[in-house]
A and B are shown apart, each in its own frame.
Chain A
Amino acid sequence: MTMDAAAPHCLLGMFDEDYTLDDYKGAEPRWCVGCGDSAILAAVQRLCRDEQLAPEKTVFVSGIGCSSRFPHYMHTYGFHGLHGRALPVAEGIKLQRPDLHVFVITGDGDCCSIGTAHWIHAIRYNMDMTVLVLDNGIYGLTKNQASPTSPLGLKSNTTPQGTVLEPINPISVTLGIRNASFVAQAVDWIPELVHDIVDAAFQHKGLSFVRVLQRCPEYLDGRYDAWVKDPGKMLLLNHENGIQTSPALASVYKNHEIHDPADRNRAREIASTSDPIPVGVLYRNQSIPCYENPRGPDRLYTPDVVKGVLEKELDRFTIQAVGGGGD
């Protein structure tokens, strides 16, 4: 076959291989009706399609909890591991395979309780991955226990008289870690912004931390009703270096702030407000170095190269007996 004949075929092949939304759909989701996770799944599938991510080059890593079922519902590689341990697994994957797109799906219990140490240190490592914390403020899978982000006074199976501890603020905590390089917040009831924020997170080189406030119709029904019903109780963060709200959305959500994501102090102030709920990119800093372990120069370590290094190492420790055998 000549080159001329091959070229159009090749181009045709490219179009054939365009990924559609269906290409990213895995098992049928089994979340409860009205669960906020579904909107997030749809936004992420859209992102994969828009970015044309090769499914085999994409890995979704999760822990345990309702949200951590997420990888099963994607038709990519998925790693549904242990409660709290999604981040270190994802870090191992990324260090081994920088060529893979790594997403981490975790929840408020998974990330902010049992996996807290990994969360703090993942921010420190700042490896290139997108982390979505699907924060519904309750343990759903184990059936209604207070989580570290449950609102004060929430009655649950483990707190029948109501919680007595103030919730943790995942955004504030993350911003408190020096190496934080991308911190954003979204809400499941504005899907367009979930998509835009996840897209901005994906584009960011480094660890992007996105907290998605998410409704649990089963155990925390009505938690966000006031905000869902009153767009004025939302604070949309706009900036050319963050996300830009579309005119249609802006006409509904009129409470805006021009916030430069480079402004870390203002980001901290915004993060500490829970009413109105801020939505958008709070902080972004492209200059934070990614954790790059000294794996040596990026070259091919062929068996011969490895053997050469090993022989040199053995030389360091080798002794040749000088008096051997003579007596």
Chain B
Amino acid sequence: MSTQILDETRQPAEDVTNADSSASRADKSRSASRDKDAVILEEHIVEVISDSGEGAQRCGQSFGSIAARMGNGIWTVEIIPAEIQPPARSIAGASGIRIRLASRRVTNGGDEADLIVAFNEQVLLKRVRDNELKPGCIVLIENKWRHDQDAGIAASYAATIDKLIADGHGVHEIPMEEECLRYVDNAKRGKNMFVLGMLSAIYSLDLEAARNQVAFAFAKKSSAVVESNIKLLNAGHEWALENLDMCFRIPPSDVHEPQIVVNGNVSLGLGLMASGMEICAMYPITPATSASHYLSDVFHNVGGAVHQAEDEIAACAFAIGASYAGKCAATITSGPGFALKQETIGLAVMAEIPLVVINVQRGGPSTGLPTKAEQGDLLFACFGGHGDTPNVVMAAADIEDCFYSVIAARKIAETFNTVVVVLTDASLASAQQPYPRPKIDTDWLAPPINQNAVPEGAKPYDWDATTGLANRFIPGQPNGMHCLTGLAHDRMSRVAYEPDINEEGMRSRSLKLAALQKTLKTPLVYGGDEGDMLIVGWGSTKGAIEEAVDRLRADGHKVSSLHLKFLQPMASGIGDVLKRFKRVLTVESNWSDSLDDTIIDEENRRYSELAWLLRARYLVDIDCWSEVRGQPLKPGVIATAIREKLHQKGK
């Protein structure tokens, strides 16, 4: 039966978009009849989990893109094992992707999964262990293991299935490999497209859009590869229609304007180009490197270059050299590399050279959790330098914000001649979310390098008494010759150890942060303007926090949230906002001591990082809740934590 259908759909790859083909008509009528029976859902969380190299991520990304194309809000989260090729069928090797799709804009990965496709029971067990399955979760699992020649494997598979059924999950054993082998010789390559076909059928996605997506995903491959994958897609779709008694439909959101679908690191790369920066120096480090992969592909088209330096220090020094000699440059790294760069960052602050440093945070300290998310570098970013190194710190709140943050960072760095640190993290790096296509503005670009003669008598550090701002003389400018130095220096950039001059330099560099602060707008409160509790967050947790606030407010709690983009300096008016709430709680993904631990009390408790900052600045008794599980915070977990805090008396 399915073979016959497939024969009809066999056609050259370039024809796949032909909507008038008989195959498409057949699909459409079939889908239309199923559509009536489809269960309408607000949202669903889908996961595809496999061994490394079986293509679960490509499958999930394609699935997300098709759903987005059909108007759904989506958010994808990659599930990445630490090793490149971990052993097959191992719990630690679980590799895959989560796709949350909804009839509205999605801002985070959500709570537990509604439906999981697993290529074997071991990788599924990883998700079970991590409590990632919703009660009654639909499980679609490859069934070939049931009759595996290795009795141990067969037994493990059978036991897992029994346990899942006993726990109330809806298990569907599927002959994925068997079906795929009807069309290809090696099912390991291509099973993911069969799954994509199944998912397209289950979620009533347009098969034509799915075919286009597959053609797009394999655009760099030969037409034979495209054709073979489309065949498998069709097969999966067909198989699901024939054999699965489930069909959902998630109506589109009311988004009309064009969206772009990228992950956080690509968003950073696009932002870098849109900001007019032309040089990005880096050293490979997870999870920051993929931003440079993207940039390396395209940067030359705008006259830019990615420089892979010999180490993190060199990357930062290289960017500083490039900034000094012309336009502001960037370096991009993650925690360990950010630590190595600190001395060079201090030099840029001291010598007042613009520089953008992007830190895609990962779990620390030391090598820590290289592939996992954490917000552990906030205080380090603010206070990492030796001596007083007032640099700007801002954090991107979502994928879209990664783009605009870099543009803002370049502008601030060049206006204030200082270092701007942009914090993102592993959860944004590989997460995908559609956002409105930016309307590129050439005003975002850096101005041309100033090569005009410096007026006679002008000083390289002519600090303004009020703002601390000074001009910057760029090599090539006649009369501007001076020797920049990381030593204490006077207005002529001469080495100076005199107490008054040292204090004048310190004061001027510090005033620049205040001057920037005067331009910042008070962030808006999400929820009500006052109430019982204000949640304060920063960075990638914004979507999850606001969703938690929505749920709590729906339950009648007077809870609101405030999300900070600028962490150093902080905008005016935040102190007033804090005071309008009975209690303030930061929610973060970094370590904080729990008062439940026997020896922890108010005098020795170490707070999470934003809580330290806010307590110090606003003298408000701010509490904190945090988690360091290496995963993006879940709205449900946050809501539960807040509920508990609301019920606690006095804390």
Partner of B476, one of A57, A120, A295, A324: A57
**Taking the nearest CB of chain B, how far is it from the CB of A307, in angstroms?**
5
Q: How far apart sit A141 and B98, CA to CA, in the bound complex (Å)? A: 58
> Is A251 engaged at the interface, CB distance under 8 Å to the other chain?
no
**Taking the nearest CB of chain B, how far is it from the CB of A14, in angstroms?**
15
> Is A56 engaged at the interface, CB distance under 8 Å to the other chain?
yes
Q: How far apart sit A272 and B262, CA to CA, in the bound complex (Å)? A: 56
Report whether A296 and B440 are in contact in the complex, using a CB–CB cutoff of 8 Å: no
**Interface bin, chain A:** 35 or more
Report whether B324 and A92 are in contact in the complex, using a CB–CB cutoff of 8 Å: yes
> Is A221 engaged at the interface, CB distance under 8 Å to the other chain?
no
Report whether B260 and A293 are in contact in the complex, using a CB–CB cutoff of 8 Å: no
Known A307-B440, A311-B440; contact A324-B329, beta-carbon cutoff 8 A:
no
> Is B369 engaged at the interface, CB distance under 8 Å to the other chain?
no
In the complex formed, the residue of B with least CB distance to A319 is B69
Hey, what's the 0/1 contact readout for A303-315 against B, CB within 8 Å counting as 1?
A: 1111101110110
Report whether B481 and A321 are in contact in the complex, using a CB–CB cutoff of 8 Å: no
> Is B485 engaged at the interface, CB distance under 8 Å to the other chain?
yes
Hey, what's the 0/1 contact readout for A82-108 against B, CB within 8 Å counting as 1?
A: 100101111111111101100000000
Q: Which residues on the B side are within 8 Å of A85 (C-beta)?
A: 313-314, 317, 344
> Is B437 engaged at the interface, CB distance under 8 Å to the other chain?
yes
Report whether B303 and A325 are in contact in the complex, using a CB–CB cutoff of 8 Å: no
> Is B347 engaged at the interface, CB distance under 8 Å to the other chain?
yes
Q: Which of B133-141, B268-276, B520-528, B572-580 contacts A (4 or more CB under 8 A)?
A: B268-276
**Taking the nearest CB of chain A, how far is it from the CB of B310, in angstroms?**
4
Q: How far apart sit A324 and B304, CA to CA, in the bound complex (Å)? A: 37
Report whether A79 and B322 are in contact in the complex, using a CB–CB cutoff of 8 Å: no
> Is B256 engaged at the interface, CB distance under 8 Å to the other chain?
yes
> Is A59 engaged at the interface, CB distance under 8 Å to the other chain?
yes
**Taking the nearest CB of chain A, how far is it from the CB of B97, in angstroms?**
18
Partner of B481, one of A75, A90, A121, A327: A75
Q: Which residues on the B side are within 8 Å of A326 (C-beta)?
A: 71, 252
Report whether A301 and B321 are in contact in the complex, using a CB–CB cutoff of 8 Å: no
Task: List residues 373-429 of chain B with CB under 8 A from any CB of chain A.
Answer: none
**Taking the nearest CB of chain A, how far is it from the CB of B264, in angstroms?**
13
Q: Which residues on the B side are within 8 Å of A88 (C-beta)?
A: 309-310, 313-315, 317-318, 321
Q: Which residues on the B side are within 8 Å of A176 (C-beta)?
A: none
Q: How far apart sit A177 and B344, CA to CA, in the bound complex (Å)? A: 27
In the complex formed, the residue of A with least CB distance to B252 is A323
Report whether B321 and A322 are in contact in the complex, using a CB–CB cutoff of 8 Å: no
In the complex formed, the residue of A with least CB distance to B315 is A88
Report whether B259 and A81 are in contact in the complex, using a CB–CB cutoff of 8 Å: no
> Is B531 engaged at the interface, CB distance under 8 Å to the other chain?
no
Report whether A322 and B69 are in contact in the complex, using a CB–CB cutoff of 8 Å: yes
Greatest chain B CB density within 10 A among A77, A78, A321 is at A321
> Is A2 engaged at the interface, CB distance under 8 Å to the other chain?
no
Q: How far apart sit A303 and B209, CA to CA, in the bound complex (Å)? A: 35
Q: Which residues on the A side are within 8 Å of B478 (C-beta)?
A: 54, 56
In the complex formed, the residue of B with least CB distance to A100 is B475
Interface residues of B (CB under 8 A from A): 65, 68-71, 206, 209, 251-256, 258-262, 266, 270, 273-274, 276, 278-279, 281, 298-307, 309-311, 313-315, 317-327, 329, 343-344, 347, 351, 434, 437-438, 440, 442, 445, 473, 475-487, 494-495
Additional A-B contact list (8), CB under 8 Å, known A72-B495, A313-B270: A77-B481, A81-B485, A92-B281, A314-B440, A319-B434, A321-B68, A321-B255, A325-B254
11 A-B residue pairs with CB within 8 Å: A82-B317, A96-B278, A96-B327, A97-B475, A97-B476, A293-B306, A293-B307, A294-B300, A318-B260, A319-B258, A324-B71
4 interchain residue pairs of minimum CB distance:
A92-B321, A78-B483, A303-B442, A88-B317
